[in-house]
Amino acid sequence: MRCEPIARRSVAERDIHRTTNADEFALLRGVAALGFRAAPLLLVLLTLLFLPCTARAQGLELNGGWTYVTGDFGNSGFNLGTAWWFTKRVTVAADYESGWNSSTIGLFAFTQIGATAVHNHLQSFVVGPRIFFSTHWTDEHKLNPFGEAEFGLSHLSQSVEQVGVPTVSASETDFTWLAGGGAEYLVAPHWSVRGNLDLMRTHFANAGQNRLRLILGVTYTFGKRGEGRN
C-alpha cells in the first residue's frame, strides 16, 4: 500500500522531467530563431569592431554576392561574409545567407481547392576554414582555387496558402554543415570575383536533407594579398 503512492509519484516526476526538457529545448530553438534575425547586424558589428586592427594587419576580407540553395523548390537570395587570413593559404570564414522562394502548385483551378502557394525563407549562419591551393599555372592566370568546410545553424520558415483556407505556417532551426570549394579570380590587388559550390546538409523535421549551395560574388581584402602572410 505504501509503495503505490511512491510509484505514482515516480511516474509523475518522470513526466514533469520530460515536459521540462521539452520546454527547455523549445526555448533554445526560439532563442536560435531570434538570433537569425540579428545575424546580419552581428556580422556587421563584429567587422566594424575589429576593422582598425585587421586593416593595419592586412588580414581582413569582406565578401558578398548572390546565392542559390536547392531544396524546397529552390531558394535564391544574398550572401554576406567575412574572413580572416591567418596565412597566405588559410582563412577562417563566417557566412550569413538569406534566400526566398514563392511557388504555386497548379496554375489552373482544376478542382474546388484551386491553386496552392508555398512560401519559403531559408537562412544560414556558418563558420569554418577555407584553404587555398595554387600552382604556377593558377598564379600565372590570377586564379585562386580553394576548399572549405563550415558548420553552424539554418532556419527554415514555410507557409502554405489556399483559397478559402487559413494559412498554415511552421519554422525550425537546426544544425547545418557544408563542404565544397570554388575559385576566385584576382581583378586587382584588393578585389576578386569568387564562385562557390558546396554540398549543404540540413537537419529539419528530425531528418536530413542534402542541398547544393551556389554563390557568385565579389571580395575585398585590406592590403595587398600575400603581404605579411606566409
Q: So where are the chain's domains?
A: 1-37, 40-221
pLDDT at 25 over 60: no
Q: Say how far apart CA 181 and CA 87 lie, in whole Å.
A: 18
183: nearest Cα among 170, 194, 199: 194
Quick one: cell of 15? Answer: 513526466
pLDDT tier, 15 (very low <50, low <70, confident <90, very high otherwise): very low
pLDDT at 46 over 70: no
CATH code: domain 40-221 is 2.40.160.20
pLDDT tier, 171 (very low <50, low <70, confident <90, very high otherwise): very high
pLDDT at 51: 54
Tell me the average pLDDT across 183-208: 94
pLDDT at 7: 43
Least confident of 26-30, 37-41, 134-138, 190-194: 26-30
**4: which DSSP letter?**
H
- To the nearest 10°, the Cα dihedral for 26, 29, 30, 32? 160
